[in-house]
Structures are given as C-alpha cells and as structure tokens.
Amino acid sequence: MNYGIVVKVLGNLLLFQAAAMLLPFGIAVYYGEDSFAAFLLTVLAVFVVGFLMSLRKPVSRRIQVREAVSIVALSWVLVSFFGAWPLYLSGSIPSFVDALFESISGLTTTGATIIDNIEGMPFGILFWRSFLHWLGGMGIIVLTVAILPAIGVGGYQIYKAETPGPTAGKLAPRMRDTAKILYGVYLIMTVVQVVLLYLGGLSLYDALVHTFGTVGTGGFSTRNSSIGAFDSAYITLVIGFFMVAAGVNFSLYFGLYRGMWRRVFGNTELKVYLGVV
C-alpha cells in the first residue's frame, strides 16, 4: 500500500475544499452575518491540514486499485467531516452529529435534513449546504482527477473506483480531459439554469442555491415550502426540466456535441431512465 500517495492526494483535495468554502464565507460577509467567523476558522483549519498532507513525498506516484479505493472512501469521510464544521461552529446546528448528518446529506445529494426552520438559517449556511450538493453531484473525486496531473499523478484508477456501474468510460484519451469535459457540461448546465431562474424573478442568491440543488440532484432549498414558496409555474417548469436533465448520463451530452445523435438517442440507459420518469 502506497500510503504516501494516498495522503498527498487527500491533502490536495482538502486544499480545494478550503478554497470552495471561500464562496459561502463571502456570502456571509456580504450579508453581514456572524457565521463568517465559522467559515474563516474552518477554511484556515482545512487549509493547514491539507497543506501539511500535500507535502508528503510518496515513494511512487503510481496509483493502483488499492490506493484508488482508499482515496475515494477516505475523501468522502474527510470532506464530509470538515464540511460539517461551519454548520456547527456558527451555532446554526448545535449538535455536531446533526451537522455531520447535514454535511453528508449534502455531499451525497441525498437531500435529507434535520433543519425544521430553513428560513431562520443564515444565508451563508444555506448557500454552503446547497453548494455541497453541487460539489457532490458531479463528484469531488472527478474534480480531483482533473487536477491530479498538476502534481504528477494519473487518475484513471481513482475515476474507476468513483464511477458507479460496471464500466468507467473515457471521453478523451487522457483522464484529465475526460474530467474537464464532464465538468464543462456540469458548469454549462449550472450557468444556463441560474440565468433562467434569475430571468424568472428569483434573486441571484436564490437562483444559485436552487440551481445547486437541482443540477446536483439533491433538492435543498432556501424556503420551508421549497419552490412552492415562489408560486410560479415558470420556476417550477425550469427546475423540473433541469431535474430530469441533470439525471442523464453526462457523457451523452458530449455525444450530442460530437454529432452522435443516433447513438445517443438509441442509448438503452437513457431510454429506461426517461421511460421511468
């Protein structure tokens, strides 16, 4: 077991998580909320831990199946653990166990929540819990694969360990390019939905939070009655459409871009998925 490479990759992943927390930190500062301190403390702690781990020099930079499975399993544990701290330190969720539940529910896009008064929560906290949906929706590991070559590590074994189903297909010869293509589709879908929701009358904040919950297929909202609070058929239709679209295998969108229409629409997985819907 190459423990060095496992520690190094996990360290780089934590550095990315620290950077991701700067977004809800900025939201908390913008709205003048006390929760900004919780985000700041967590960012500093995660950065220090991640930086120290990233300094580890492995004997080999090759990642085999054993290391890949360990990285995937431990990454979800670590990111969920540190993701819970802003929820807990801010006092928004007094119990750390409940905060950890909320963090795991967000990252795994399960969408279950222990919060009974959503509208009483700080803006930064609500943004973070939905942003966890967005991070977990595509998979934080897929993003890790995209940045691994920067530290001289290949990511195909990690990608295989993370991908559900019997096979893990490549869209490009290099795994880094495959990960970029997948995140490109994810980003385009996110931007389009945010724009449509904003044009439909939602604030930019609400448009972002509900888009994170939609394309991440998790469902967290900023309102107690979810999108029913907006009483808008347009908002409901836009979110409903993207709920279905976000559930489609993203590699099929790349196939459409490449002009492989017959192959895409003849895909058995797509037919069954749409048939069930």
pLDDT at 239: 96
Average pLDDT over residues 115-123: 93
Residue-wise burial string across 248-264, b where 16 or more C-beta atoms lie within 10 A, e elsewhere: bebbbbbbeeeeeeeeb
What does the pLDDT read at residue 146? Answer: 56
Q: Which pLDDT belongs to residue 122?
A: 95
Q: Residues 164-183: pLDDT tens digits?
A: 544 445 555 455 667 777 77
Whole-number percent of the chain with pLDDT over 70:
85
Mean pLDDT along residues 253-275: 87
Residue 215 in contact with residue 189, Cβ under 8 Å? Answer: yes
**Whole-structure pTM value:** 0.86
More confident residue, 10 or 170: 10
- Rg of the Cα atoms in the chain: 19
Asked whether the beta carbons of 118 and 158 are under 8 A apart, the reply is no
* Inter-helix orientation angle 175-199/204-215, to 10°: 140
Q: What pLDDT is attached to residue 164?
A: 52
Coil, helix or strand at residue 23: helix
Give the residue from 137, 140, 145, 141 showing the smallest Cα distance to 172: 145
Of 55-64, 71-80, 206-215, 260-269, the least confident: 55-64
The pLDDT, as a whole number, for residue 174 is 57
Residue 150 has pLDDT above 50, yes or no: no
